[in-house]
Structure 1
Amino acid sequence: MAGDVNTAGHCDRQFAPVREAFESNFSSRGDIGASVAVYRHGEPVVDLWGGWKDPEHTEPWSEGTLVNIWSTTKGVTAACFAMAVDRGVLSYRDKVADYWPEFAKAGKADVTVAMLLSHQAGLCGFRDPASLHDLYDVEGAAARLAAAEPFWTPGSMSGYHAITMGALASALLKRAEGRPIADFVEDEFRQRLGLDIFIGLPTSERPRVSNLVAPIEMGSQDTAAELTPAQVAALANPAFAPTVANEPDWREAEIPSANGHATARSLAQLYSALATEGILNGIRIADPEVLREARTLQIEGKDAVLSIDARWACGFLLNTNGLYGPCPESFGHSGWGGSFAFADPATGLGIAYTMNQMGTDLVGDPRNSALIDAVYASLKY
C-alpha cells in the first residue's frame, strides 16, 4: 500500500521491485488509477492494479478496469497485420493499391504495406479541414486519404500518422482480409484468444471504463502556429482535448490508431506471445518468422511529425534510446499520456501499463521508466 492507495493482484517474489515502483507511482508520481502486467514466456509474473477510477476516489480501480490507451492501440493494429500476413492474406511487400486501387492516386501507386505501416506514406493527416465526426467515419476518412496528395514523397521519410493510421490500416485490412480492424479484434482477440481489448467499445462495457484525467494545459488546440503543415495535419486537424476520449462517440467509433480500450494484463499477454513463439493461450497467432518480419526495421531517423528519433517496423515502434529497456530488439507502442506495451524477444517478456492520469512527457514518462527499470532489475536477482 502507498499512502491511501490499495494495490491488489499478483507479483512473483523475484519481481518485488516492480510492485515497489508501481506503488511509488501513486505516492510520488501522480497516478490515480493504474494497472501493470508482466508476462514471461507466456506466464504471468506481475499482474497488479490499484488506485481509483476517478479523481474523487469514489470508485476503486479493479482487476477488469478498461481505459482508453491512445496510440498504444497502434501496436494492436500491427499485431492484426502480423496475423493476416501469417495466414497468407497479404504480405508486407505487397503494394497497398493491389488491394485498394483508389489508393494509387496522386503518386502513391508504389506504397507497400510495410511503408504504410511504418508511417512513410505521407498521409499523416488531412489537407482540408476535418472534424471529429470525420474521424468517426472510418470509411469516409479512408476515401479522403486515398485520394489525397501525400505531404512528402512516399518512402523518403517517416512522419507519424497519429490518427490517420487507423482509417488507412482498417480500410486496407478490410479489402485484403474481409474484416475491418474493429471486427478482427473482436473476433480474433476477444472471442478466440480471450483478451480484454476493444477497438470500438460496446455500450455494455462502459461501466468498466475509467475516464482519462489530463492536465488543464494538455491538448492539441494551441500548437498549430509552431508546426509545419504536415505536423498541423497530423496533430491539430482536427484539434481536440484529451478528454474527448471520455465521450461516447469517441468510445464507440472505430479508430484503430487511438481509441483502443484494454487492460494491462491482456496487452502484456499479447506482447509476450509476440516476443516468443507466437502462441497465446495454446493458440498459434503467428509463426516466429512472420513476427521477425513484423519487427524488422523499415526506416529510422528524425520523424517529420514527432521531431524525435524514431525507428519504425511494420506498425511497431522499435526500441530507441532505451525507451523499452536495455534490449535493442524490443518493440511495441506507447500512447499519449503514458500507457505502453512492448515485447522483449531476448527475455520472452511482454510488459504493459495502463492508467487514467495522463502525463505530459512525450517520451520518458517517469512512471514508465520506473516500472521498466524495475522489471529489468528484477531479472538480475
Structure 2
Amino acid sequence: MQSALGSPIDGLKSAGFERVVDAFRRTFGARGELGGAVAVTVDGSAVVDLWGGWRGPDRQRAWDRQTLTNVRSATQGLMAICVLQLVENGDLDLEAPAARYWPELAGCGGSIIPVCWLLSRCCGVSGTTLDSRMTSDARLDLPILERRFVEQKLSGELAAIGSRGGMSYGYLVGRVIERSIGQTTSQFFAANVAAPLNVDVHIGVDSRDLSRCSAFGGFMSADDRSSMKMPPVSTVELGGYATALGLATVYGALADGSGRLLTPDTIELGRARQGQCVEVAAGLHGEFGLGFALGGEQRGFGPNPRAFGYGSHGGSVGFADPEHGIGFAYVTNGAGSVLRDDPRTMALVDALYSCL
C-alpha cells in the first residue's frame, strides 16, 4: 500500500482506492468527525488502512494506528461468529431450547425458545423495560441481570413480530455461550477469533490497553472503562474494542473463501434470512440472519443484499461481502446523528464500491 498522508488523516491505501481516502478526509470537514479509522480488505489483503482526528473530545491526543475504539452494538457481529463456531464444533444446537444451556431461562419461555430465535431477535424477550429500570451499575452486575431476565415473561405479541431490546441480545446470547462451554464470550473470542487472525479486536478491554482507547463524547469515560478488565458476559453487547484494520480483517476472513473462521456452509447458514424484525427500543425495522444484520436498502453494507455484519448507533460498523471478497470496517468515537445508515459510513461505503 502507498502512503495516504494529508491532514487531518494518515495511513495507507492501494492504488485505485483514492475515492475512499477523499471520502474519509471529508468526514472531518463537512461531517464534523471527531476521530476514527476506516479499513478495507479485498480477498484477504488490506487495501485501505486510514485513521485521523482525535481520541477524545478534549482533542489532546491524536488518533493513531493502534487506537482502540468501543464499537458498541457492532460487537453483536463478533458474538455471532462465536456462536457459529460453537455450532460447527457441536457445542451448540441452534434448534435446541435455550433453556438446555441456561435452565433458569425456562421461566420466561426458554423451554420453548430455540437458540436460533435468540440470534434472529425473534425470541419475544425484549430488554426494553429491563433497560429502562436499571442503573449503570446494575447492568454490570451479572447476578442482577440474570435475575431480571429469568423473571421476565415471554411476550407473544413481541414473538410474533420479532423483538430486540437495547441491551438484550448481548445478555441472552452471551449467557448461552458461557453456559454451553464454561467460558465467557470474551475468552472464547480471544482464543478462537482474535488469536488465529492476529488481530487487534477484543470483547472487553484489558487495563493495559486503556491508555490507547478512544473516548466517546458523553458515552463512556476512562473511569468507566477502568473497571472493565474483562467484563462479565452481561456487558458484551457494548463491550467490543477494535482497530478498523482488525475489524475489517475479521470480516475479510468471512469474505475471502479461506474458511479461516467458518466454513463456507456455516457462513451461508449465518447469513440465511430469518425474516423481518422490529427493534423495539428504536422502532426500526430490519432483516437478520443468525446473529448478523443483512444487507439491502435498510443497511449500509453496500449494494450487495447478501452482505452481512453489524453497525452501531455511534457509527462504527463492520461487514463482509463474500461476492466481492470485501471486509470493511469503520470505527469512530464521534456520536452518530441517526440510529442506522450513518452518513459517515454510507459515504465511505459508496466510495469503496465506486472503486471496484
TM-score (norm 1): 0.85
Give the aligned partner of residue 212 of structure 1: 216
Structure 1 distance, partners of 2:196, 2:335, is 31
Asked if 1:351 is matched to 2:328, the reply is yes
- CA RMSD in angstroms comes to 2.3
Structure 2 distance, partners of 1:267, 1:177, is 25
8 Å Cα contact 1:17/1:375 also seen in 2: yes
8 Å Cα contact 1:332/1:342 also seen in 2: yes
8 Å Cα contact 1:138/1:167 also seen in 2: no
Give the aligned partner of residue 365 of structure 1: 342
Structure 1 distance, partners of 2:123, 2:101, is 16
8 Å Cα contact 2:255/2:327 also seen in 1: yes
Give the aligned partner of residue 257 of structure 1: 237
Task: Return the offset for 1:41.
Answer: 1.3
Task: Return the offset for 1:246.
Answer: 6.5
Structure 2 distance, partners of 1:35, 1:112, is 38
Relative to structure 1, the CA distance from residue 15 to residue 97 in structure 2 (aligned partners, 3 Å threshold; closer, same or farther) is: same
Give the aligned partner of residue 275 of structure 1: 255
Structure 2 distance, partners of 1:91, 1:276, is 26
Structure 2 distance, partners of 1:154, 1:57, is 44
8 Å Cα contact 1:309/1:320 also seen in 2: no
Residue segments in structure 1 that go unaligned for 5+ positions in a row: 215-241
Structure 2 distance, partners of 1:264, 1:2, is 16
TM-score (norm 2): 0.90
Judge which range, 246-255 or 311-320, deviates more.
246-255
**Helix, strand or coil: the match of 2:7?**
coil
Aligned 1:275-314 pairs, distance under 5 A: 275-279=255-259, 284-314=260-290
Q: Which amino acid aligns with 2:67?
A: T
Aligned 1:310-325 pairs, distance under 5 A: 310-321=286-297, 322-325=299-302
Judge which range, 36-45 or 153-162, deviates more.
153-162
Structure 2 distance, partners of 1:246, 1:44, is 34
What does the per-residue CA deviation read over 1:245-268, in whole Å, with 9 as the maximum and x for residues that have no partner?
A: 862367443312112111111111
Structure 2 distance, partners of 1:173, 1:24, is 41
Q: Which amino acid aligns with 1:7?
A: I
What does the per-residue CA deviation read over 1:359-381, in whole Å, with 9 as the maximum and x for residues that have no partner?
A: 221123211111000010000xx
Number of residue equivalences: 348
Q: Which amino acid aligns with 2:314?
A: G
Give the aligned partner of residue 38 of structure 1: 40
Asked if 1:132 is matched to 2:136, the reply is yes
Relative to structure 1, the CA distance from residue 3 to residue 287 in structure 2 (aligned partners, 3 Å threshold; closer, same or farther) is: closer
Q: Which amino acid aligns with 1:306?
A: A
Residue segments in structure 2 that go unaligned for 5+ positions in a row: none
8 Å Cα contact 1:5/1:51 also seen in 2: no
Give the aligned partner of residue 230 of structure 1: none
Relative to structure 1, the CA distance from residue 139 to residue 172 in structure 2 (aligned partners, 3 Å threshold; closer, same or farther) is: farther
**Percent identity of the aligned residues?**
31
8 Å Cα contact 2:244/2:331 also seen in 1: yes
Judge which range, 203-212 or 166-175, deviates more.
166-175
What does the per-residue CA deviation read over 1:220-263, in whole Å, with 9 as the maximum and x for residues that have no partner?
A: xxxxxxxxxxxxxxxxxxxxxx3468623674433121121111
**Helix, strand or coil: the match of 2:138?**
helix
